[in-house]
Amino acid sequence: MRAGLPDDATVRSAIDLAARAPSIHNSQPWSWRVADRSLHLFADSSRHLPATDPARRDLLLSCGATLHHARVAFAAVGWATTVHRLPNPAEPDHLAAVEFHRHDPTAEDIAAAAAIGRRRTDRRRFSSWPVPPILLVQLAERATEQGATLVAVTEPEQRHQLAAAIDEAAIQQNADPIYASELAAWSGRSRGAAEGVPAANVPIPHGRHPETTARRSTRHGDTTMRTFDGGELASPPEDEEPDAAELLLLVTASDDQVSRLRAGEALSAVLLAATEMRLSSCPLSQPLEIGATHDVLRDQVLRGSAAPQIVLRIGWTHPSSPPIPASPRRAVEDVLDRFPSPR
């Protein structure tokens, strides 16, 4: 970039943090390009998972999450950002153009950037400790700041409808051999992999050793979890304490590409805030990946008031759960490039 803008080392450092964003199956479906005065985010359609994500919702949410992570990373080192979303209608994979101006980092900026390295997706059972309502309000405020709404699904009938939709999505996906093949290709990765869901981050089903684990549904309380093969992560022991996780719906006013991108930015903001609060979290995208269950969430759970984008499972880590290792990421060189120089 030109003088007076972030230098190459700053850009590389920020994109390294941005790459820590959550993405569907840790596919990291994004690429960044540097121009003289701006930074540009592109969707990497070669990393689209068509069986899991036929509507490309997960892809756009993932890209929105890395966009927000980048904004957080730059803010912490003195660069505020102005984002132009979908700047080129003729190029739909060009998702954002980011411009910079000087900014004095706040304590909140630094805390949010520090949370990036600590955030983990926790697919295990949570503790019986309830999440205080004030924390849910604060998480909702973070979503609102990013142009989305976070809805706590606490009314019993709506919670039942949401849980049933998650169940039905799992049943339909598990019956699809193409989905099963895609899931297997992106999960059970070794510790040296740069992408995909590592076996070290997938819980061991109770009563099984990793080498004998077969795919089966796992439930935490009323919630069916996406099932990955080859889990090696120790799970808390079975006990009589209930799982007190909250189910939250991240929604937007409409369901176009910009709305989905903004929902990804809100997802990032909520997950980082939850990390700062020491809450555990797990995004649940399955019921939004199936048309019929998506419609249940929109028409029954939300009663037609908003467009659902993703479900979040939030709670306190079970006291016997060991720490989760960081999942792998691609090298900065693989996701960051420069625009070709004009001739």
pLDDT(208) > 50:
no
Alpha carbon distance, N-terminus to C-terminus of the chain: 18
Rounded to whole angstroms, the Cα distance separating 188 from 193 reads: 10
Query: Could you tell me the pLDDT band of residue 229, with boundaries at 50, 70 and 90?
Result: confident
Q: What domains can you pick out in the chain, each with its CATH number?
A: 8-117+327-338 (3.40.109.10), 133-315 (3.40.109.10)
pLDDT per residue as tens digits for the range 96-136? 999 999 999 999 999 999 999 999 999 999 999 999 999 99
> pLDDT averaged over the chain?
93
Q: Over the chain, what HEC string results? A: CCCCCCCHHHHHHHHHHHCCCCCHHHCCCEEEEECCCCEEEEECHHHCCCCCCCCCHHHHHHHHHHHHHHHHHHHHCCEEEEEEECCCCCCCCEEEEEEEEECCCCHHHHHHHHHHHHCCECCCCECCCCCCHHHHHHHHHHHHHCCCEEEECCCHHHHHHHHHHHHHHHHHHHCCHHHHHHHHHCEEECCCCCCCEEHHHCECCCCCCHHHCCCCCEEECCEEECCCCCCCECCCCCCCCCCCCEEEEEEECCCCHHHHHHHHHHHHHHHHHHHHCCCEEEEECHHHHCHHHHHHHHHHHCCCCCEEEEEEEEECECCCCCCCCCCCCCCHHHHEEECCCCC
Q: Is 80 exceeded by the pLDDT of residue 214?
A: no
| Residue 341 banded pLDDT, cuts 50, 70, 90 | low
Query: In whole angstroms, what is the distance from residue 201 CA to residue 310 CA?
Result: 21
Closest by CA position to 93, among listed 101, 82, 85, 81: 85
Encoded tokens for 138 = 């604060």
pTM of the model: 0.95
- What token pair was written down for 193? 């992999």
Residue 81's nearest CA partner among 14, 23, 22 is: 14
Residue 210 has pLDDT above 60, yes or no: no
Tokens 């190459």 — which residue?
A: 8
Task: Considering only residues 308 and 228, tell me which one the structure prediction assigns the higher pLDDT.
Answer: 308
Cβ neighbour number for residue 36 with a 10 Å cutoff: 10
Question: From CA 151, how far away is CA 221, in angstroms rounded?
Answer: 20
Phi–psi pair at 51, nearest 5 degrees: -70, -40
